[in-house]
Structure 1
Amino acid sequence: MTLPSSDTPLYNHSLPDLETWLTEQGCEQDPAELHCWRIAKPAWKAELYLDVDQLTVRYLEVGGEAIQRSFKYLLSRQDVEDAIFSGP
């Protein structure tokens, strides 16, 4: 499957495209909650939620607390990728 160009807004990606993109980033889908994805990097862990109008990321155990950020689907895939996967 070929993803749209990285400067394409997320709202122009199909659900399978978004799922492929998240998998390529190293995320794993929660089998019980299909809208929830998890990723673990050496320095941080996060949960990502595909909501109706935005993608929400919740970084876990950052300085003893969680940090949550939301990104509207109107942002490009590259902008969201840069913001989320660089860590908290």
Structure 2
Amino acid sequence: MSSLPPGQTPLNQHSLRSLELWLEGLGALRTEEDPCLWCWTQPDWSAEIRLDQEELWVSWQSSGQEAQRRFSYGLSRLDVEAAMRAGP
């Protein structure tokens, strides 16, 4: 298993496999029907994460409400992860 680049490294400098390892490390699961779509469940919310060509999309669901955000691949992995963990 390969290691991830340092956390301050922008996502666009990660290999696809590194991005997959990162999402797996968060506990996200890749969907069977779409290899670019991941599901991530936390105690207070769930999220769908899409590895799009231009940006990373996150759609959170919590208590019947939905919030969506797009993150540039130019942002660091730590910054994107912190925003994702903050939830909707």
How would you bin the TM-score normalised by the shorter chain?
over 0.9
2:66 — aligned with what? 66
Q: CA deviation at 1:59?
A: 0.3
Tell me the secondary structure at the aligned position of residue 18 of structure 1.
helix
Q: Which amino acid aligns with 1:70?
A: R
The correspondence of residues 5-84 of structure 1 with structure 2, limited to 5 A, is: 5-60=6-61, 62-84=62-84
- Inter-partner Cα distance in structure 2 for 1:65 and 1:44: 10
Give the length in aligned residue pairs: 87
TM-score, normalising length from structure 1? 0.94
Q: Percent identity?
A: 41
* Unpaired segments ≥5 residues, structure 2: none
User: Structure 1: which amino acid aligns with 2:8?
Assistant: D
How far apart in 1 are the matches of 2:64 and 2:48? 16
Whole-Å separation in 2 of the counterparts to 1:14 and 1:45: 25
SS of residue matched to 1:19? helix
Any unmatched runs of 5+ in structure 1? none
Distance, in Å, in 1 between the alignment partners of 2:72 and 2:20 is: 16
Q: CA deviation at 1:63?
A: 4.3
Output the CA distance in 2 between the equivalents of 1:64 and 1:40.
Answer: 15
Q: RMSD in angstroms over aligned alpha carbons?
A: 0.9
Shift of 1:64: 2.5
Aligned partners of 2:79 and 2:17: how far apart in 1? 19
